[in-house]
Amino acid sequence: MPDKQAQEVFTAENLACKRPLPGATGLPPRDYDRVVGRRAARALRIDDPIDEDAVEGGL
């Protein structure tokens, strides 16, 4: 079961900036404030990298 459901709001409590694993993609830390308050476009697991497609409406 996903840890974050689609349509759930990203908050400061459920987001963290982490160094990506080799080969992983995700948004850079500078986009953190642009993601907080937005909704998840799909279900996500803990530690899944968040890319533009994971944010409803993109960035």
- Domains of the chain, residue spans: 1-48
39 residue type, one letter:
R
User: What is the full DSSP assignment across 12-53?
Assistant: TTT----PPPTT-----GGGHHHHTTPBBSS-B-TTPPP-GG
The residue written with tokens 């890319």 in the block is: 51
pTM of the entire predicted model:
0.81
Nearest-CA neighbor of 28 among 53, 1, 51, 2? Answer: 51
Give the model confidence (pLDDT) of 1-59 as tens digits: 567 678 899 999 999 998 877 887 889 889 999 999 999 999 998 888 899 999 999 88
